Each structure stands twice: as structure tokens, then as C-alpha cells.
Amino acid sequence: MRANAFIFPAAVLTAIFCVYAHAGEWDTKSDVRVGPGMKVIKAGDANVIVAEGETPYQDNQGRIYQEPPDEYVARGFIETDNRFKSAEAEITLLKDRFKALEDKLEETTKRVQELEKDKPEKEI
């Protein structure tokens, strides 16, 4: 009987030790699953899930505000539209440069053909 009386307290103490040893890890791990296009940011003592590209702001009383979804989406469309406009301008510039290079190539080809015509034939 004495052996059984010793096993129970030893098992309880082992279980308490295991729980206590891992308690510090539980506090630091984040089990929050964040969907695509979202991120977790720290605002004060709280972790806040926000859309990527969005920055929440905090008032002087500690409340956290985020921009409304319609403003966030509208801002995304405006940024995308601005990127398309800049890409179109760059494409136009590249087309002009390509046309200038084509013109130079054509001019150089004509000069080479003229030089080949004026070149005296070799005597054998």
C-alpha cells in the first residue's frame, strides 16, 4: 500500500511542474489565425487585426479607430488607378524611345548599304 500512496502525490507534483514550466510559453504564443490580406499590429497593450496597408489610429482616451471599409477600398482603387496611369505614361515613353531606336537603325542600315555600294571591288 505504501508504494501506491507515494505514486499519486508524485504524479500530481509532476503534472503541476509540467504546467508551470510551460506557462510562460503560453503567454507569448499567438494562436490568432489571420486571413490573407490581414495583419496583426500592436496598439498599446492590445493586438489589433487590420487589413494590410491600413493604419489604425488611437485617440487620447485610448480608443482605437480604423478607417471604414468603403474608404479603405476606395483608397485602394485610387492607388491602383494612379499606378495604371504612371505605367501608361512609362509605356508611352518606352514606345517613343523604341521608335527613335528603330529610326536610327533604319538610318544606319541605309548608310551601311551606301558604303557597300561605293566600296571598290577587290581585284583578283
CA 108 to CA 110: how far, in whole Å? 5
Q: Residue 19: what pLDDT?
A: 62
Q: Which residue has the higher pLDDT, 50 or 25?
A: 50
Of 33, 34, 36, 37, give the one whose Cα is nearest residue 76: 37
pTM: 0.45
**Per-residue confidence band for 83, with pLDDT thresholds at 50, 70 and 90:** very high
**Per-residue confidence band for 23, with pLDDT thresholds at 50, 70 and 90:** low
CA 119 to CA 53: how far, in whole Å? 66
CA 2 to CA 9: how far, in whole Å? 12
Q: Which residues pair with 38 in a beta bridge?
A: 51
Of 95, 96, 92, give the one whose Cα is nearest residue 84: 92
